[in-house]
Chain A
Amino acid sequence: MSSATLVSVQEYLAASFRPDRDYVDGEIQERNLGERPHGRTQGRLFAFLFQREDQWGICPIIEQRVQVGPTRFRVPDLCVILASDPKEPIVKQAPLLCVEILSREDTVTRLNERISDYFQMGVRYVWVLDPLARRAFCYTPGEMHEVLDGMLRTSNPDITVPLAEVLEA
């Protein structure tokens, strides 16, 4: 059983954290980040997508609060919404893509909970990048495949990102 102090949605939304935190049914959960492999991977992926946002009709956003349920907010390392999606302070319409960049401490249970939240909200793709192992995994609802050909992809819009561009040499 969790011993975390519970706070209301209103308190969470009024608070700011550095780095930002998830809110899960009253519990504020820290996110693992802050080390170079995480930050560089996040930045390189954002830069790659940002340079092509007009071409693909997308809007990549770093550490955006996403309301995945009435009392659940997640902060993916990066999410991609469509350029035509509403420009809200908090994303409430399912992004096309959410990206999680692994840190050493990320547990399987926590990751699976986050991915489950994304898909229940209607997110179509989740990419999980492991900069330390230099591996990437593409999740769609109920399935996952490891990226073995070096290319991260989505369909409609057709986004293609070479893994080598994202992972620092």
Chain B
Amino acid sequence: MLLASDPRDPIVRQSPFLCVRSSKEDTVTCLNEKLSDYFQMGVRYVRVLDPLTRCSFCYTRGDMHEVLDGMLRTSNPDLVVTLQEVFENET
């Protein structure tokens, strides 16, 4: 997710505000490599959603916490997304 004020390049070269990944079938090593790439680029927020277990994890550089209150949040801008809406009808 970019900010509306970010450049409208065909290929994103400025770090997105937020990256979201579905971890379904990802290996741990592969996911960790992707997360490292995002943070080295300057991405502020990374969310990893596991549709199988319906768990969600918030990553910042070097740290992670599981979303236990059912709400995905960011600051500046303040986004709030309920996990229930995200996982609805997912099998």
Decide: A145 near B62, CB < 8 A? Known: A105-B27, A106-B28, A107-B28: yes
A113 and B50 CA atoms in complex are apart in Å by 11
* Contact B32–A133 (Cβ < 8 Å): yes
Summed over the interface, the residue pairs from A and B with CB atoms below 8 Å come to a total of 60
Contacting A107 at CB < 8 Å: which of B26, B33, B63, B64?
Answer: B26
* Contact A102–B63 (Cβ < 8 Å): no
Q: Mark B38-61, 1 if CB is under 8 A from A, else 0.
A: 000000000010101101010000
* Contact A143–B63 (Cβ < 8 Å): yes
Closest A-chain residue to B59, C-beta based? A144
Within 8 A of A (CB), among B1-36: 23-29, 31-33
CB distance from B61 to the nearest CB of A (A): 9
Decide: A112 near B55, CB < 8 A? Known: A130-B32, A133-B32, A148-B62: yes
Q: Mark A115-130, 1 if CB is under 8 A from B, else 0.
A: 0100000000000101
Contacting B66 at CB < 8 Å: which of A104, A109, A143?
Answer: A143
Closest A-chain residue to B51, C-beta based? A109
B80 sits at the interface (CB 8 A): no
A144 and B28 CA atoms in complex are apart in Å by 14
* Contact B24–A109 (Cβ < 8 Å): yes
Q: Besides the contacts A112-B53, A113-B53, what 14 more A-B pairs have beta carbons closer than 8 Å?
A: A106-B27, A106-B29, A107-B25, A108-B26, A108-B48, A109-B23, A109-B50, A109-B52, A112-B50, A130-B32, A133-B33, A145-B62, A145-B63, A145-B64
B contacts, CB < 8 Å to A: 23-29, 31-33, 48, 50, 52-53, 55, 57, 62-66, 68
